[in-house]
Amino acid sequence: MSQKSAGPEILKMIELIAKLPGLGPRSARRAALHLLKRRDQLLLPLAAALSEAGHKIERCNTCGNFDTLQPCAVCQSTSRDESVICVVEDVPDLWALERASAFRGRYHVLGGVLSPLDGVEPEDLTIGMLVDRIRQGEIREVIFALSATLDGQITVDYVKEQLEDFDITITRLAQGVPHGGELDHLDEGTLAAAMRSRR
């Protein structure tokens, strides 16, 4: 979009929207126009909500979730099993497990996975915080719910080494054939994981 067709405020808005995942310059222009056409119903309330979120929402000092509370609502809940921690890569994974109502324990967000090629080292993640939580002695099980990728497996292996001195059970999510999946559409790695995780 040229300088002549839009002012600097609109260009800045498009530039920022384009930085969101899954949006390029064209999608950002469409989104910006949609917001501008619905200024009172959408643009101004969204701007107010984003401003409020920017000032009030922060990472939980205990698990790494996003919330306005410190510690977050999940960590404060008295209905959860405090002896089990589910380790996830990032906040969207925590939210996915919560949507599925699949887990009623505590969480720990690593903030990513180890990736030597991308320069992500152990000190870049919250592995030390996880070890400190377990050192307090109330945890009996750690569940790894990381992506079934090479970097995810490297991360699980590394963290397991850090936890080997503790008297805890270490498990990980089963991997393999998705419900309704057809075998001839799956890659060899998924089929091998399914065979190893059979029950």
pLDDT tens profile 127-174: 999 999 999 988 999 999 998 888 999 999 999 999 999 999 999 888
Instruction: Please tell me the distance from the alpha carbon of residue 97 to that of residue 9, in angstroms, as a whole number.
Output: 39
Read off the tokens for 149.
Answer: 């990728």
Q: What is the mean pLDDT of the chain?
A: 90
Instruction: Give, as one character, the DSSP assignment of residue 122.
Output: G
What are the residues facing 88 on neighbouring strands? Answer: 109, 145
Using CA of residue 59, residue 60, residue 65, residue 71, what is the dihedral sign?
Answer: negative
Angle, alpha carbons 15-16-22 (nearest 5°): 95
Read off the tokens for 52.
Answer: 């409020």
| Whether pLDDT at 25 is above 60 | yes
| Whether pLDDT at 191 is above 80 | no
Q: Is the pTM of this model over 0.75?
A: yes
Instruction: Please tell me the distance from the alpha carbon of residue 166 to that of residue 135, in angstroms, as a whole number.
Output: 8
Residue pair 189/162 in contact by the 8 Å Cβ criterion: no
As a whole-number percent, the residues of the chain with pLDDT over 90 amount to: 76
Higher pLDDT, 134 or 181: 134
Instruction: Please tell me the distance from the alpha carbon of residue 136 to that of residue 111, in angstroms, as a whole number.
Output: 22
What pLDDT is stored for residue 199 in this prediction?
A: 60
- How much is the average pLDDT of 44-62? 95
